[in-house]
């Protein structure tokens, strides 16, 4: 086997020897630090490379060696020089502090970093100075350039550990007092600018900074709080014996499933086809049970083929279809945990969601981060929105309900954004969201209008034999009418005049 040219054995041995000989507290803490800066799975990168690969600036080691990003290095050095002018010490002192925390920095990255300790420390010092300079708004940028930098800063592979930012902030301010509060203020300001969801400043903000490893994880924790355990509570009307009375089809189902009717339906069709009312009874049976049978067959097929499930869009009607079936849409102020469906009022509650030029990149990287380390809550939300938004009309309805805040040029761009979002890379199951989807589907499929519409499409509009028969019957009727009128004089009969003798 040929040796890997990118792997330096000597440097690896030195790194292992230092790790085993080092008795520093930072090394002892490494066992409690979990990797959180991952490589984006290739299946996601292939769908939209520009959403995961930085286009302007490289932060951290993953994209540091890309030549097309070298142009921003002078801006990063300028930010480091400005930071150094305001303090009596040189940046070498910060590099020395970061070198002592080398193992803690490396522990944040999932990928092995083929860099020596000095290179990693200098990289973190310069990138941290640049990032703090940008977050404080000291480096003025053109609007287009500013948006590109925002997208690059929120990419999963372009993260800098918050530990490095905190160390740099303490070094630049000359004191550790207030560093957490300043870092939180800068991070929450960034998240408000880029988050598609409403960000509410919480009382334990400093604790959230300390629990987060990088800025993308901090944004994720604001959107999907760890402390929010969603409990599923059924309405009282949906429990116990009242549920049967709430279902408008329950009485009809019991009638069709009764023994006498079941016996008649099992007889040979040739015997009973001429009995009055049998055709109508068959249609009632279809209305009551066809959808349930189809759902069971779909579930069985999905269980037998998980790969097929991953490629399919979730089964839920579009916004337009739900609206035509009588379902209302309302905004919830509780974010993703507040998504629910109220069966009593037929109201689908969804969080307000801002759509601008940065939204797609932010959502894709949140999904990529989640796919590597968390339950797929954002992913399932993305699949839900992908399922209910199919067209410009769907986006328009949600915009008018103030659920989608559209800062793009048109509603069609919003629909294209959701329809272009990538699928999950593994099975997606989120209890409370799956329950909402199930409730919406049950209510929609239980509407008389929906069931009659399906019946008409299947047996009327979808049957060319019936259409041919109706057309032939109409033609025969009009030919007969014409012949009758030509013989008896329909016009004179209608006007009350006697026929000519």
Residue 43 in this model has a pLDDT that exceeds 50: yes
Residues 33 and 157 reside in one and the same domain? yes
**Residue 388: predicted pLDDT:** 95
Query: Is residue 379's pLDDT more than 60?
Result: yes
* Nearest residue to 309 (alpha-carbon basis) of 317, 318, 298, 319: 298
- Torsion sign over Cα 170, 27, 112, 154: negative
Whether residues 496 and 435 fall in one domain = no
Predicted local confidence at residue 305, as pLDDT: 44
> Binning pLDDT at 50, 70 and 90, where does residue 249 land?
very low
Same domain as 86, residue 40: yes
Q: Are residues 412 and 493 in the same domain?
A: no
For the chain, give the mean pLDDT: 78
Residues 477 and 446 in one domain: no
Is the pLDDT assigned to residue 303 strictly greater than 80?
no
CA dihedral for 152, 155, 161, 162, sign (positive or negative): positive
Same domain, 435 and 320: yes
Examine residue 249 and state whether it is found in any structural domain, yes or no.
Answer: no
For residue 436, give its domain range: 311-450
With beta carbons less than 8 A apart as the criterion, state whether 452 and 324 touch.
no
Whether 160 and 19 share a structural domain: yes
CB-based contact 348:341 (threshold 8 Å): yes
254 occurs within a structural domain = no
From 223, 255, 278, give the residue that closes a domain. Answer: 223
Structure tokens at 470: 């109706």
Last residue in a domain, options 169, 195, 223: 223
Confidence of residue 501 (pLDDT cuts 50, 70, 90): very low
More confident residue, 53 or 241: 53
Please say which residue of 196, 223, 250 terminates a domain.
223
Is 196 among the domain residues? yes
Is position 493 within any domain?
yes
Element (H, E) at 476: helix 464-488
The pLDDT > 70 percentage for the chain reads 66
Q: Is the pLDDT of residue 51 over 90?
A: yes
Q: Is residue 432 in some structural domain?
A: yes
197 and 52, same structural domain? yes
Higher pLDDT, 84 or 154: 154
301 pLDDT above the threshold of 70 = no
Quick one: pLDDT at residue 96? 93
Give residue 375's pLDDT: 86
Give the sheet arrangement for strand 340-342, strand by strand.
328-332, 347-351, 340-342
Number of structural domains in the chain = 3
**Predicted confidence band of residue 20 (pLDDT cuts 50, 70, 90):** low
Please state, in angstroms and rounded to a whole number, the distance separating the CA atoms of residues 252 and 479.
42
For range 328-342, the mean pLDDT: 93
Q: Which has the closest alpha carbon to 155: 14, 363, 294, 326?
A: 363
Please check whether residues 109 and 145 belong to one and the same domain.
yes
Instruction: Answer whether residue 3 is part of any domain.
Output: no
- As a whole number, mean pLDDT of residues 4-19 equals 64
Higher pLDDT, 234 or 337: 337
**Radius of gyration of the chain measured on its C-alpha atoms:** 33
Contact in structure between 110 and 39 (CB atoms under 8 Å) = yes
CA angle, corner 331, sides to 329 and 337, nearest 5? 110
- The more confidently predicted of residues 474 and 24 is 474
Predicted TM-score (pTM) of this structure: 0.74
What average pLDDT does range 166-183 have in this prediction? 89
Structure tokens at 356: 């601008």
Regarding whether 192 and 81 lie in a shared domain, the answer is: yes
Is residue 111 assigned to a domain? yes
pLDDT above 60: residue 455: no
């Amino acid at each position: 086997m040929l040796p890997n040219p990118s792997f330096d054995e000597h440097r690896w041995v030195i790194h292992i020897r230092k790790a085993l000989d080092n008795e520093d507290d930072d090394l002892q803490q490494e066992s409690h630090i979990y990797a959180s800066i991952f490589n984006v799975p290739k299946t996601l990168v292939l769908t939209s490379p520009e959403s995961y690969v930085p286009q302007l600036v490289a932060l951290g080691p993953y994209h540091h060696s890309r030549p097309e990003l070298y142009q921003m290095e002078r801006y990063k050095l300028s930010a480091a020089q400005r930071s150094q002018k305001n303090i009596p010490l040189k940046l070498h002192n910060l590099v020395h502090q970061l070198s002592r925390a080398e193992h803690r920095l490396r522990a944040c990255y999932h990928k092995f970093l083929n860099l020596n300790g000095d290179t990693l420390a200098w990289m973190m010092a310069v990138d941290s100075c640049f990032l703090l300079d940008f977050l404080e708004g000291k480096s003025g940028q053109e609007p287009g350039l500013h948006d590109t930098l925002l997208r690059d800063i929120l990419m999963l592979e372009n993260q800098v550990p918050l530990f490095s930012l905190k160390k740099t902030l303490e070094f630049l301010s000359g004191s550790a007092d207030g560093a957490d509060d300043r870092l939180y203020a800068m991070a929450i300001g960034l998240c408000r600018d880029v988050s598609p969801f409403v960000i509410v400043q919480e009382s334990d903000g400093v604790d959230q900074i300390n629990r987060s490893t990088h800025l993308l994880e901090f944004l994720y924790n604001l959107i999907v709080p760890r402390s929010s355990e969603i409990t599923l509570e059924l309405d009282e009307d949906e429990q116990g014996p009242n549920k049967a009375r709430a279902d408008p089809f329950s009485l009809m189902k019991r009638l069709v499933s009764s023994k006498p009717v079941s016996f008649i339906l099992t007889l040979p069709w040739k015997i009973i086809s001429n009995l009055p009312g049998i055709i109508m009874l068959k249609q009632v049976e279809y209305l009551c049970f066809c959808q349930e049978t189809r759902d069971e067959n779909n579930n069985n097929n999905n269980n037998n083929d998980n790969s097929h499930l991953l490629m399919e869009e979730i089964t839920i009607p579009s916004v337009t279809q739900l609206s035509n079936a009588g379902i209302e849409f309302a905004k919830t102020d509780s974010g993703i945990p507040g998504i629910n469906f109220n069966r009593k009022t037929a109201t689908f509650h969804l969080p307000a969601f801002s759509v601008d030029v940065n939204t797609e990149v932010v959502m894709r990287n949140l999904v990529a981060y989640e796919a590597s380390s968390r339950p797929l809550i954002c992913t399932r939300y993305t699949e839900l929105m992908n399922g209910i938004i199919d067209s410009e009309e769907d986006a328009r309805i949600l915009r008018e309900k103030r659920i989608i805040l559209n800062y793009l040029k048109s509603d069609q761009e919003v629909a294209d954004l959701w329809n272009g979002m990538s699928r999950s890379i593994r099975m997606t199951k989120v209890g409370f969201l799956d329950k909402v989807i199930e409730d919406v589907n049950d209510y929609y499929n239980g509407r008389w209008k929906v069931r009659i519409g399906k019946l008409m499409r299947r047996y009327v509009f979808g049957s060319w034999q019936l259409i041919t028969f109706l057309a032939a019957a109409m033609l025969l009727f009009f030919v007969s009418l014409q012949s009758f009128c030509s013989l008896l004089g329909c016009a004179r009969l209608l006007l009350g005049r006697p026929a000519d003798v």
